Chain A
């Protein structure tokens, strides 16, 4: 069977799970006097890691003509994250999974909703590739993606910095970045059959090199703007019942963990003896400069 066989290759179905998060950018973020986030004064946006995941889906759209569906669990205003994600990815379908009983969910209970949500995508066909961000900027656990993958029965590949799809072979080739903290870094190349779940590394950036890709890019960007202006046309909202969720496995009842208490982190005992220097005292600053040079020139080369 050749490449130009009359049986068309079924289009690739890509699902993305995203999150509406506080906007940490300067001018938008607001902090309380004690340094904590002022949630009431801070705007919410599509999180930056969610945006990276959405870009990875856009790459599939431009390069492989994939169908893209975006899903999020959250209150009704989370549809703003979906609109922004559609603008980035020219998504064909948007899904909001929203129900009061989902509130207070930890990562396991959230993953349960997202598992059901992904299976609703693309008329119930689900997705060949599901993409999540690295972690949310506010929760920062990075657990929801891999837990959703596990519940879906999709193998999980994390920290993906680059990938391509062999549509005929129905596999993914992905490069992932592994930082071992206190050890060297590793770049790994993985091959896996579809379906698969990947998380986009924060450094992920798609590149479009061929002329046909660039034409497709321009067309898709244009379409995305038109679609996002009418994003509600593409939006489907599911509550718990609509998803067929078992109430014991979502929201608070489905959450093994609770937040027991929140406190200010006490200051650590000083381990160094600090010398205070007035920033206007140029004589003192000269002494600091001398000290730095002394340390720099005397220290043995590591």
Chain B
């Protein structure tokens, strides 16, 4: 056992746990060597959490960025500038493109590697088993990767998180503690907005302290919604440790082959249009007629049409193929769809669930049309038109057409 002295001496049991599970590992995603935005956002939140953690617990645990790829060495310094203390990278030609099987294996190799742990904290790695915490991105890649990594590491995973707190919690739970009150230190509270967007569920990953089913569950892990956390300001002077990890790759691991990879431009162009008009469940009273009003309005403004998530689940019985083509997942604005930032965003009959707001809050000017002046959107818009779309849209569309005609005549 090491002779580490701490300002506040933990009990022997705690010390063993501290040393078995250490640090916050952040799995970085990048495209051709450029970190995707959520990677830097995760590092920013990791930095803030671990700075507080180290002060609060008088410890020196690290933010460890993990990056896999082909020719990714140049990325490491950049990740340190954005908050990592340590970057562990695996550079190999077969890692050029993500495949779930190979990436899962190598991330688990890194997470459980004692040599890596001893490079990170030389005097405290003797009992190292696994990371204390682990972050992934909640996008198509990270969602699957986090699932398989945590299945391999046999621990808990919460998905789509938008708030994180580390605290000591007194827990009484039928199974986890056999009904006794037990203090769980350094517990990661993972806040997850539910599908309705109105409820926040806090998920914890806890060891079973019930003697009958005693089991340790680490790392405490989550996938993080892109676009919710701020990266730290890039600091060119930040220094850190870079570890070159030599992955173990067998022929079996290479049996999944990426034959081709094509970047596609979405058929729905939310990027180059100036105005996006989105609609939600507010069309319900007469979906087909109301959609016509929305379409006429959007056409007058030369706007692209977006939708809220519930609409993509096709909640209305309709045979109108044209309308159905405007109820597809590709049009969803929000965390389950696209993130947009047009000059003007107009939300019609959308209440403003947090998932939707996260997808449009960077827009320049926001107009909401909604009969419910208490809708959550009221705090995220510049103009709130209180009224039913059936009544507001025809008038508004007429006014717009009238002004546009005048502009054309002048020109």
User: What's the minimum C-beta distance from A144 to chain B, rounded to whole angstroms?
Assistant: 8
Q: Does B236 sit within 8 A of A, measured CB to CB? A: no
User: Contact check: which of B205, B316, B404 meets A293 at CB < 8 Å?
Assistant: B404
A274 in contact with B275 (CB, 8 Å): no
B316 in contact with A143 (CB, 8 Å): no
> In the complex, A186→B387 CA distance in Å?
40
Closest to A177 in B: B140
- Chain B hits for A17, CB < 8 A: none
Which one, B19-27, B193-201, B240-248, is touching chain A?
B193-201
- Chain A hits for B213, CB < 8 A: 248, 253
Q: Does B33 sit within 8 A of A, measured CB to CB? A: no
B140 in contact with A178 (CB, 8 Å): yes
Q: Does A264 sit within 8 A of B, measured CB to CB? A: yes
User: Contact check: which of B217, B263, B272 meets A256 at CB < 8 Å?
Assistant: B217
- Chain B hits for A275, CB < 8 A: 382-384
Q: Does A54 sit within 8 A of B, measured CB to CB? A: no
Report the count of interface residues on A (CB-CB < 8 A): 97
Which one, B112-120, B252-260, B288-296, is touching chain A?
B252-260
> In the complex, A95→B369 CA distance in Å?
48
User: What's the minimum C-beta distance from B145 to chain A, rounded to whole angstroms?
Assistant: 8
Chain A residues 242-295 with CB under 8 Å of chain B are 248, 252-253, 255-265, 267-280, 282, 285-286, 288-293, 295
Q: Does B308 sit within 8 A of A, measured CB to CB? A: no
Q: Does A50 sit within 8 A of B, measured CB to CB? A: no
A252 in contact with B143 (CB, 8 Å): no
Which has the most chain B C-beta neighbours within 10 Å: A173, A192, A199, A285?
A: A285
> In the complex, A87→B169 CA distance in Å?
48
User: Contact check: which of A137, A193, A203, A289 meets B400 at CB < 8 Å?
Assistant: A289
A272 in contact with B275 (CB, 8 Å): no
A262 in contact with B199 (CB, 8 Å): yes
A202 in contact with B329 (CB, 8 Å): yes
Which has the most chain B C-beta neighbours within 10 Å: A177, A180, A295?
A: A180
B143 in contact with A142 (CB, 8 Å): yes
Chain B residues 344-384 with CB under 8 Å of chain A are 344, 346, 351, 354, 357, 361, 364-367, 369, 371, 373, 376, 378-384
User: Contact check: which of A24, A190, A277 meets B258 at CB < 8 Å?
Assistant: A190
> In the complex, A282→B399 CA distance in Å?
9
- Chain B hits for A265, CB < 8 A: 193, 197-200, 354
User: What's the minimum C-beta distance from B77 to chain A, rounded to whole angstroms?
Assistant: 21
Closest to A253 in B: B213
Contact of A26 with B343 at beta-carbon distance under 8 Å, contacts A143-B146, A156-B101, A290-B403 already known = no
- Chain B hits for A278, CB < 8 A: 385-387
Which has the most chain B C-beta neighbours within 10 Å: A151, A191, A256?
A: A256
User: What's the minimum C-beta distance from B369 to chain A, rounded to whole angstroms?
Assistant: 7
20 contacts between A and B (CB under 8 A): A35-B198, A48-B314, A140-B194, A141-B159, A147-B147, A157-B100, A180-B31, A185-B264, A189-B261, A190-B256, A203-B330, A253-B208, A256-B155, A258-B173, A261-B201, A264-B199, A264-B200, A274-B383, A279-B369, A285-B395
| Interface, chain A (partner B; CB < 8 A) | 24-27, 29, 31, 34-37, 48, 106-108, 111, 137-138, 140-147, 149-151, 155-159, 173, 177-193, 199, 202-203, 248, 252-253, 255-265, 267-280, 282, 285-286, 288-293, 295-297, 299, 301-302
**New contact pairs (18) apart from A252-B175, A256-B154, A280-B391, CB-CB < 8 Å:** A25-B315, A26-B316, A140-B195, A155-B100, A184-B265, A189-B260, A253-B210, A260-B204, A261-B201, A264-B198, A275-B382, A276-B384, A279-B369, A279-B392, A282-B399, A285-B395, A290-B403, A301-B274
Top 8 A-B pairs, shortest CB-CB distance: A279-B387, A256-B156, A289-B399, A256-B217, A146-B147, A257-B156, A150-B151, A253-B213
